[in-house]
Amino acid sequence: MFARKFLQKSSGGQNPPPPIAPPPRGCLLAEDLDPHLVTHCGIPSTASLLAFDPIQCLLAVGTLDGRIKVIGGDNIEAILASPKQLPFKNLEFMQNQGFLVSISNENEIQVWDLDLRQPASSLKWESNITAFAILHGTGYMYVGDEYGMVSVLNYSADEGKLLQLPYYVPTDALAEAAGLSSPIDYPVVGLLSQPCSKGTRLLIAFSNGLLFLWDASEDHVVLVRGNKDLPVEGSTVADSLEASHDELSDLELDGKEISSLCWASTDGSVLAAGYVDGDILFWDFSDGQKGKPSNHVVKLQLSSAEKRLPVIVMHWCLDVSRKSSGGKLFIYGGDIIGSDEVLTMLGLDWSSGMGGLKCVGRADLTLSGSFADMVLSPIASSRQSGMFLFLLTNPGQLQAYDDASLASLMSQKENKISVSPLPYPMVVPTMDPHMTVATFAALNVNDKTSLALSEIVLAAKARTPRTPSGESAQWPLTGGVPSHLDDYKLERLYMAGYQDGSMRIWDATYPCLSLIYILEPKASVIDITGVDASVTAFCFCSKTSCLAVGNEFGMVRLFKLVGHASGGTLEVVTNTEKKAHHLHQEDGPQWLAAFSFLSSPVCTLQFVQSTRRLAVGFKCGKVAMLDTGVPSVLFVTDSLSDSGSPIKSLYVQSSSAPTASKSDPTDHNSINSEDDLILCAMTKDGKTIILDGNTGKILASCLRSLKNPTAICMHIIENCYENSETPNGKPAGNPSGKEKHENKSHIINASESHSPSEQNAVTETKLADQMFANSVFLMCSEDALRLYSLKSLSQGSLESMMEVNLPRPCCWMGILKKDGRECAVLLLYRTGHIEIRSFPNLEAVGESSLLSLLRWNFKPNMEKTVCSDDFGHVVLVNGCEVAILSFLAHANGFRLPESLPLLHDKVLAAAADATFSHISAHKKNHDGAPKFLSNIIKGFRSSTEQKMDQVQDFSHLGNIFSNPPYLKPSDIGGDDEKIVELNIDDIEIDEPVIILPLTEKDKKEKKDKRTDKEKLFDGASSDAQPKTRTVEEIKSKYRKAGETSAIASQAKDKLLERGEKLERISQRTAELQDNAENFASMAHELAKQMEKRKWWNI
């Protein structure tokens, strides 16, 4: 269609420009483009922070470039990208609520909605944020800044807004409690909510070493620690098991800067603080120590050296075997400067009191890279329980340790043993093993082969367990809910070859990729030399499900993905012999043949339109044609380039077989021996050769002198002329039988081989001209795009139609199609830029970059694993990351967003909330509650021993934080508050006596309640003589106004008031009954849903 425009450009005519017309069919416009990310797999190499939701069992990884990776189970992953490419300094989940909070280096607080995968609200903080904490189970957040201020924020999911509340911690009150003359203006370095305090008590740590326990409900300091002016007594202990305690009467606190801290007890009575000088101090924060400064601190040192590393990170967990008298402390830092980078785990015991703290065990975890972050949390899963340690090291390596492995490591006191962690199970492995080549294949969902493959995939998914790691252990993350669309059909495959010779195939129909097959390089009973060499090229035929794989040793393996269990044969063809091996194979991929006849790496593979033939290009510059039906080598050429330049691209055209008529290689009658095959090959130095595909005879050869002779790939655009638009004015069509017979006179025996020196003169033939008469040859090199006409091959030259110089060095080219026709080329430059150029004039219509789309920088050899389909989808690999991009605006082959998995499990969230409410109300499991809920809660409680803050009730915090300190409203509530606290079993009709400050009315009532004698004498002494009174005086003194009618009215009002209270009590009783029924109904419905789901989705 667009070749006429090419020819008009090259003719250089002076005709006036035609009027503006609609774009030709197949042309791509700028409005057709919408580059965006479809899916992302793997952990970014810039990962720096971790956050964990123990209820939803989700892990979040923050990066230095403004991205957040959210990881769940069942291959569920998501990438969130902040508008600014800035590092995060804080990252934390709003647990079980479906929100994630991040703080950037520019102090912008963002709340991410996990359902929508985008920011829900943000707030720019004016000062530098130095400490941050979220009150677990709520939307309340504490923010500490560089000026010593502690503020409170709240995110309301209903309103979708993050707001700063009026409440704050007054620094003058803290200074007064510490005995300082001026308000504290040191940076806040740590904020921790005290466990079991219902969210009202907050531990505040300042950089100068001061520690305060603040009670927000009473607006005062409960305890102060760390002040050098306060008397400090305690003891010190080294990490050695035999070390004794030394007195700490002269502990130097002046200038001792805090670098990390954590609670070291479940009830918040002991705080562990790490310091810049390498010391670790355990502070006693129990209420019983108030006013008793002695014996409230213990110092621990990991090394006795004078110069030690700062204690950068500390986490503590309860040791179940020691109940509440000890635990495990995980420390990064604190050791001697220059020592190996390790994560230290200490076993602590204070069964004899905090003053008798002992270090009962130490173990060092060797890091696989430099330390980035760690989280320590119980796992809320029905199949995993106990504490898990998630360890992040650079670059982007994530590992997990369970209780059993840590306990075994701690138990080895003398013999050093290494415990293998659970590595993060990458959906698409890229580094271990190392990925070398990849392809992206679209399937025709209506083909019988594709339908059969879909059935096999569904059966394989049902049999495959979830992400196993090791023989018995499994990766602990189970969060998220996979998408389940009813009309599933296999539409796309992603395939990758590896350095160990293996192949992996994924179902890429939806954004959440799932592994289908792993093709191991070796057979169980057959030893083939060179079969496990690195994979260098492969070709897949979607019509027949045939896969050809070439490796570094020159071996080509042939597979058929759809097969049934049988005792078939494996044909092994070498340059000297051909052997058949009996091989039992299961359902799925069948290994059909192996060819090993040339010890040169395979560069490219290309099936002929009928898959009975396979063209192979080698690094040495040779080309071979294989017969896959009856495994044999038809011919091998000499090197097509005098310099031995590698073969970069191959293209095969058949004279009779249309593109859609692909056949099975096992069908021996699927190809006609009379068919003419034309093979087009291009070498890396830009030489183009046309060969007879049946014999290997060179028909034409052309080398265009290039300034930069580095060809990348070629593409032949078929049928781009209309029937009446051929250059010679004759209709294009297939050659007649007579012409076909005449052309065959130029074909020689298939066993002959030809060298370039014998073919300097171009072979004249009309066959190639006729087969490529309607085709255009597109050649991509590093510096230019070139279009040629193939009609003049018989003259030994390529007629140039267009040449476009590229602005940057190019390394990869892909083709975009619209309405089944080529419409544009997609170019990847070594600078990381991506450019789209549209036919027919190859003008740039769109540009993007890896940095803007993925936050990636281009790396060497990245182009080797780049692949695409015809529908604008491109797959790229960078380190441990794999990303799929979509460039066409109206293409939604991945069916977004309904195909995306859910990150927040609302069913699990409702179950957890209902169960926590149930536990809070009854303090024990109820017989009517579903049994699996109790199992989930056991995970929340860390082996049923560690208490969780989620069980607490934080409803009272709204009244506390909605007002500034010292300005809270009166605590005296109305009748409604009394009714809320009223227990139906303790109802008393008579009003209880309330002792309040006496008012004038109260004084009068008190006066009226005197004894008769006191009333009679009216305050006078009882010894006074009585006096005579008149009737009027007695009536005015003792008679009430209104007499009988007033008394009746008061009694009526009292009865009405009591009736209203009883009615409200009845309504409250009905509400409690409704809530109980709702809870039972929800538990029953949840049980029904859980029965339908797989065990791994619980």
Structure tokens at 714: 């070629």
Asked if 83 and 67 count as a contact pair (C-beta separation under 8 A), the reply is no
Phi/psi of residue 197, nearest 5 degrees: -110, 10
Burial call 108-129: b when 16+ CB within 10 Å, e when fewer: bbbbbbbeebebbbebebeeeb
Query: In whole angstroms, what is the distance from residue 709 CA to residue 1034 CA?
Result: 128
Q: What is the pLDDT of residues 688-700, one digit of tens each?
A: 888 888 899 988 8
Amino acid at 674: E
H or E element that contains 132: strand 129-134
Would you call 334 helix, strand, or coil by DSSP? Answer: coil
Q: Can you spell out the DSSP letters for 820-860?
A: TEEEEEEEEETTSEEEEEETTTTEEEEEEEHHHHHS----T
Residue in the structure block whose two tokens are 């997609």: 826
Query: In whole angstroms, what is the distance from residue 271 CA to residue 354 CA?
Result: 11
Residues 747, 752, 758, 759, Cα dihedral to 10° = 40
pLDDT of residue 1091: 62
pLDDT score of 934 more than 60: no
CA diameter of the chain: 157
Strand bridging mode 297-301 / 234-238: parallel
Asked if 205 and 211 count as a contact pair (C-beta separation under 8 A), the reply is yes
Query: In whole angstroms, what is the distance from residue 517 CA to residue 535 CA?
Result: 16
Query: In whole angstroms, what is the distance from residue 519 CA to residue 503 CA?
Result: 5
Would you call 225 helix, strand, or coil by DSSP? Answer: strand
pLDDT score of 424 more than 60: yes
pLDDT band at 216 (very low <50, low <70, confident <90, very high): very high
Asked if 904 and 913 count as a contact pair (C-beta separation under 8 A), the reply is no
Asked if 284 and 296 count as a contact pair (C-beta separation under 8 A), the reply is yes
Strand bridging mode 578-582 / 514-519: unpaired
| Residue of 448, 441, 443, 398 lying closest to 423 (CA atoms) | 398
- More reliable by pLDDT, 379 or 935: 379
* Residues β-bridged to residue 613: 627
The Cβ of residue 291 has, within 10 Å, a number of other Cβ atoms equal to: 6
Domains 84-423 and 435-731+750-888 fall in the same CATH topology: yes
Q: Where are the domains of the chain?
A: 84-423, 435-731+750-888, 970-1098
Query: In whole angstroms, what is the distance from residue 32 CA to residue 678 CA?
Result: 36
pLDDT score of 946 more than 60: no
The Cβ of residue 188 has, within 10 Å, a number of other Cβ atoms equal to: 25
Average pLDDT, the chain: 79
Average pLDDT over residues 738-756: 35
pLDDT of residue 572: 92
Q: What is the pLDDT of residues 104-161, one digit of tens each?
A: 999 999 999 999 999 999 999 999 999 999 998 899 999 999 999 999 999 999 999 9
pLDDT score of 971 more than 60: no
Average pLDDT over residues 39-57: 95
pLDDT score of 496 more than 70: yes
H or E element that contains 87: none
Long-range CB pairs of 1005-1014, under 8 A, 24+ apart, other chains included? none
Listed in sequence order, the residues at least 6 apart from 981 whose beta carbon sits closer than 8 Å to its beta carbon are: none
Amino acid at 834: I
Omega prior to 860 cis, within 30 of 0: no
The Cβ of residue 778 has, within 10 Å, a number of other Cβ atoms equal to: 22
- More reliable by pLDDT, 329 or 466: 329
Query: In whole angstroms, what is the distance from residue 369 CA to residue 664 CA?
Result: 49
Structure tokens at 184: 């504290």
pLDDT score of 242 more than 50: no
pLDDT score of 925 more than 50: no
pLDDT score of 773 more than 70: no
Average pLDDT over residues 230-259: 58
Query: In whole angstroms, what is the distance from residue 81 CA to residue 36 CA?
Result: 12
Q: For the packed helices 1043-1092 and 931-940, what is the interaxial angle rounded to 10 degrees? A: 90
Average pLDDT over residues 351-364: 82
H or E element that contains 23: none
What is the Cβ-side half-sphere exposure of residue 919, based on CA atoms within 13 angstroms? 20
Going from the C-alpha of 784 to that of each of 16, 206, 790, 803, 839, the distances in angstroms are 29, 62, 19, 7, 15
The architecture of the domain spanning 84-423 is 7 Propeller (2.130)
- CA 463-468-474 angle, to 5 degrees, is 125
Listed in sequence order, the residues at least 6 apart from 657 whose beta carbon sits closer than 8 Å to its beta carbon are: 608, 609, 610, 671, 675
pLDDT of residue 1022: 47
| Residue of 342, 390, 346 lying closest to 366 (CA atoms) | 342
Asked if 887 and 816 count as a contact pair (C-beta separation under 8 A), the reply is yes
Phi/psi of residue 997, nearest 5 degrees: -55, 140
pLDDT of residue 1014: 54
pLDDT score of 880 more than 90: yes
Distance of CA 535 to the CA centre of its chain: 29
Structure tokens at 567: 């005792």
Residue in the structure block whose two tokens are 């190809």: 671
| Residue of 924, 816, 829 lying closest to 870 (CA atoms) | 816
Query: In whole angstroms, what is the distance from residue 710 CA to residue 967 CA?
Result: 77
Q: Can you spell out the DSSP letters for 801-815?
A: EEEEE-SS-EEEEEE
Asked if 71 and 41 count as a contact pair (C-beta separation under 8 A), the reply is no
- Burial class from Cβ neighbours inside 10 Å (0-12, 13-18, 19+) for residue 922 reads exposed
The Cβ of residue 728 has, within 10 Å, a number of other Cβ atoms equal to: 8
What is the Cβ-side half-sphere exposure of residue 5, based on CA atoms within 13 angstroms? 14
Q: Can you spell out the DSSP letters for 737-758?
A: HHHHHHHGGG---TT----GGG
Asked if 638 and 754 count as a contact pair (C-beta separation under 8 A), the reply is yes
Q: What is the pLDDT of residues 1002-1039, one digit of tens each?
A: 545 555 555 555 554 555 554 555 566 665 666 555 55
Omega prior to 166 cis, within 30 of 0: no
The Cβ of residue 655 has, within 10 Å, a number of other Cβ atoms equal to: 18
Phi/psi of residue 1080, nearest 5 degrees: -65, -40
Query: In whole angstroms, what is the distance from residue 879 CA to residue 859 CA?
Result: 9
Structure tokens at 409: 């490591």
Listed in sequence order, the residues at least 6 apart from 699 whose beta carbon sits closer than 8 Å to its beta carbon are: 678, 690, 691, 692, 746, 763, 765, 767, 768, 793
The hierarchical CATH code for the domain 435-731+750-888 is: 2.130.10.10
Q: For the packed helices 906-922 and 931-940, what is the interaxial angle rounded to 10 degrees? A: 90
Residues above pLDDT 90, as percent of the chain: 42
Q: Can you spell out the DSSP letters for 973-1030?
A: --HHHHHHT--GGG--SSPPP------HHHHHHHHHTS-HHHHHHTTS-TTSPP----
Q: What is the pLDDT of residues 666-688, one digit of tens each?
A: 444 444 545 678 899 999 988 88
pLDDT score of 922 more than 70: no
